[in-house]
Structure formats: structure tokens, C-alpha cells
Structure 1
Amino acid sequence: MSSGVRQDGSGGPGLTTRALPEGRYGSPSGRTPARWRRWAFTAVALLVSAAVAWIAYVNLGPAPIDADRVSFSQQPGNAMSVTINVTRDDPSKPGVCIVRLRDISGAESGRKEVYVPAGDNHSRQTTVVRSIDPPVDADVFGCSYDVPTYLSSS
């Protein structure tokens, strides 16, 4: 065991160097990683970063079709008239928006899919949605270009 005294005799604090037992730990390679490995790792890291950024942009970027609630009003028989403004990037495609109603507890009490025919970039749609309980609020759940076959006229 080392006493911690320098071998140069100065007596100051320090560590002594000892030779490791031969054959016990193998020989030190002494080689540093090849330069091409560093470049390959950097290239892979850049490709993975670019893929993550692209996926984030596709999933978190602006929606191609979107709607905002303009107004809603009570109708007789647990129903509500809802008016929405639809904005889309491709007016040649029809779309669908889901409008929902909420009751006093905040639970969804009614839902309706609203067909948005091809037309202008901005359009206004009005629909009446029926509810199982008296509705107190209306909102747009979301919109899509994937129109179900039972809604499309073709």
C-alpha cells in the first residue's frame, strides 16, 4: 500500500505511481477512437435529430383544416344551434368538422359531424345538435379532410 508520499522525496502530499500486476488487467490499447467513428457518430446524431424535428413539425405544426366557434344558441328540446367558421389550406377538398355540446357538469352531452363541402378557403357552417341533457356550451372538437362515406354525397 502506498503511503501517499512522493517518490521525489519532497514530502509534499501527492500520490505515487505503481505498476499494475502483469496479466491481470490486459494491456492498455493506447489507441484513440478512429476519426471516422467520430464523424459517423456525428452524422447519425444529425440524421436522428432531423427525423425528430420533422416528426414534431408534422404532428405539432399548423392544421390543414381548422374551425372556430362563432356562436351558439339554445333551441327547444335539448338542442343547440352552433355556427362555426372553417379555415382550410385546400379549398378543392371537402372536409368534416365535429361539433360537440356540453351539459352543466362539463360532460359531453351531444356530438355531430358537420360536412364542409369544397368551396372557399373560409366558410361558415350552421348546424343544430341534439343533446341528452340541457346543453350549456358548444365547441369544435376538430376537423379533417378524411370525410366518412356516409357524409359525402358521392
Structure 2
Amino acid sequence: MTRTLPPGRYGTDEKSSRPKRWQIWVLSILVVAIGVTVAVIAFNRFSTPELDSQTTSFDLVNDSRLDVTFTVTRKEPYRDAVCIVRARSRDGSETGRREVYIAEGADQTVKVTAPVYTSRPPGMGGVYGCSFDVPAYLTGG
């Protein structure tokens, strides 16, 4: 003996509860778009930059001079670069700054020591940042 359930009381037929074809396509496109977005963000955040600098040390020469030693790594060593090096006093305020021209070369990583003259006794120093946009007055052009 087969039982027949009362209509409308226990939900709909199994066929009608399956997703429609257009819903599958929309969901698939949405998943691919999210995946591409995550990949682009991860690539931009974790890829090696074209130009990277890192302070390795600084030497307090006297009350008006600090020597900053840093490395510059370029993916394209044939391009000129400029780095801004700065000195700060013990309270953290900037007391000196200079631009350092990094000429093109064969090495991807270059070690540079640059003196920075200060208006107050220096307490620390480092590289503020580097760029491939070298001002003409640094190159003599």
C-alpha cells in the first residue's frame, strides 16, 4: 500500500527545489570574479617591489652629522633612482634630510653610505623612501 501525502502540506516537489540554470551561471561568474579580485590583491601586496630600500645602520659622527648606510634593490638595475635619507633627533622630529642619487649599474642591490647634516643633535637616521623619478638637478641634465 502506497501512502499519498496531502498536497501543500509537506513542501514542494524535489524537481522544483533544484537551482535554475541561470542561478548556476550567476553564482559561477560571482565565484570567478571574487577569485580574480583576491588574486590581484595578493599579487599587489606580496609581490617583490620594483624598488626597495632598507636602512642597515647609522653612525652618529658629531652633533651636526649622521652617516646613514642603506641598501637599494632594483629589479631593473639599469635605471637611475633617488632616495631620501633623513636624520631625526631623540624626540623623533626630523632634523636633517638629503636626496641621494643612485646611478644605474650592473648590480641589483647597491650599498650606500650618505652623510646627513642636521640642525640639532641627531638620535637616529634612516631611508624615508626611494623612487625612479630622479630630479634633473641630481643628474646634471
Fold-level similarity (TM above 0.5): yes
CA distance in 1, matches of 2:96, 2:78: 30
User: How many matched pairs?
Assistant: 126
> Max radius of gyration: which structure?
1
CA distance in 2, matches of 1:123, 1:111: 20
TM-score scaled to structure 2, two decimals?
Answer: 0.72
Q: Structure 1 pair 41/152, CA: closer, same or farther in 2 (3 Å)?
A: farther
CA distance in 2, matches of 1:56, 1:148: 32
Over the residues paired in the alignment, what is the CA RMSD in angstroms?
Answer: 2.4
Structure with greater strand percent: 2
Structure 2 residues without counterparts, runs of 5 or longer: 1-8, 10-15
Question: 1:134 aligned to 86, 107, 121, which one?
Answer: 121
Which string of whole-angstrom CA distances, capped at 9 and with x for unpartnered residues, describes residues 15-58 of structure 1? xx7xxxxxxxxxxxx78653223222321332233124313422
TM-score scaled to structure 1, two decimals?
Answer: 0.67
Q: Identity of counterpart residues, as a percentage? A: 36
| 1:62 aligned counterpart, secondary structure | coil
Which protein, 1 or 2, shows the higher relative CO under an 8 Å CA cutoff with sep ≥ 6? 2
CA distance in 2, matches of 1:34, 1:43: 15
2:134 is the counterpart of 1:147 = yes
